Amino acid sequence: MVASYTLQRFATYGSRVQVLRLYVAVLILLTFGLSERVRAQDEKPPEMQPGYVVGTVSNANGELVANANVVLTSSDGQGRRTALTNDNGFFEFHDVNPGVSFQITANAEGLAEWRSPSITITPSQFKILTDIRLRVPTVSTTVEVTQTSEEIATEQVKIQEKQRIFGVIPNFYAVYDSNAAPLTTKLKFRLALKTATDPIAFLGSGFLAGLQQAADTPDYGQGAQGYAKRFSANTADAFTNVMIGGAILPSLLHQDPRYFYQGTGTTESRIRHAVLYPFVCKGDNGKLQPNYSSLGGDLASSAISNFYYPESNRGAGMVFTNFAISTSARIGASLAQEFVLRKLTRRRGDSQ
């Protein structure tokens, strides 16, 4: 019986040892598994290891720049990171995400900004930037050249002097620029002389002399001598008319002798504009005023012709008849300018 009790106790003791051993084994397994789990959480995969970006900032002379502002901007939208260079021009950025492109900019007071191309680093890469050089900013100077009114008018007259109907017949007194600058006295005489001495003007006098020769008027007779007198009279009429009405009186009265093309509006308003031109002109001050220059030029030219026309063609009646003819011809020319001649004028310079 003592033996039986002894065996029972031994068996009980043996079972307790086994349980204790099992318990210790479970604790060891749990502890090992937990440590492995923590270690797995703490360690990042190699492809996720951040990198470093360091560098130095210098100026164009190679001198290191302290307190330069360096900015790292990522393309993944993680914001901007900034750093200031130390006394040796050195800067650094830690924990830069690999595989994500970024850009470095650097600037300092009095120097132009430096900007890098897009940069991407690999895991754990130590990227060194040594070519950051800040240069003196380029100063852009703008010089505004302002033309005077006389210079503008001179350029416009140069364009007018190239205006010819069919590229041949002078059309110097037509203005197609609504903002044309007023003419100076010099330009008024220049334009008048250019018109009076143009070869086509002499051809026109010769053609008119031929028509007058056929009509036997004025009373210069027939033959070469009669034609020469008519040609000379027509040339003198044209010269005195354009010089007095286009240069002398416009200069004295400060009026513009040119025809200003309207081109817009109703047909009635354009007709009215053309018909009124011999009677209403634009002053050098830009305001409309009675066209004393045109009317005075026609009247003065007709009066002067009274000195070289035959006696049978002289007198006040003839002067006013020629004046009326000249003014009527000017109205017809204005209507042609407004509705026909602009389309036929070559090498014209206008803003419309």
How large a percentage of the chain has pLDDT more than 70? 82
Which of 40-54, 259-273, 321-335 comes out lowest in average pLDDT? 40-54
147: confidence class by pLDDT, cuts 50, 70, 90:
confident
Per-residue model confidence (pLDDT) at position 126:
82
Structural domains of the chain, with CATH: 47-134 (2.60.40.10), 149-346 (no CATH)
Per-residue model confidence (pLDDT) at position 46:
52
Per-residue model confidence (pLDDT) at position 94:
86
pLDDT at 92 over 60: yes
Per-residue model confidence (pLDDT) at position 142:
57
Instruction: Give the mean model confidence (pLDDT) for residues 248-276.
Output: 96
Are residues 95 and 81 in contact, defined by beta-carbon separation less than 8 angstroms? no
Count of helix runs (H) and strand runs (E) in the chain? 10, 14
CB burial string 205-214: b at 16+ within 10 A, e below:
beebbeebbe
Selected residue with higher pLDDT from 317 and 140: 317
Selected residue with higher pLDDT from 94 and 293: 293
* Separation between Cα atoms, residue 119 and residue 104, nearest integer Å: 8
Distance between terminal CA atoms of the chain? Answer: 137
Residues 6+ apart with CB under 8 A from 226: 213, 220
CB burial string 49-83: b at 16+ within 10 A, e below:
eebebebbbbbeeeeebeebbbbbeeeeeeeebeb
Residues 6+ apart with CB under 8 A from 89: 56, 57, 58, 64, 65, 66, 68
3: confidence class by pLDDT, cuts 50, 70, 90:
very low
* Separation between Cα atoms, residue 107 and residue 132, nearest integer Å: 10
Tokens at residue 89, please?
């021009």
pLDDT digits (tens, 9 = 90+) for 159-190: 899 999 999 999 999 998 878 899 999 999 99
21: confidence class by pLDDT, cuts 50, 70, 90:
very low
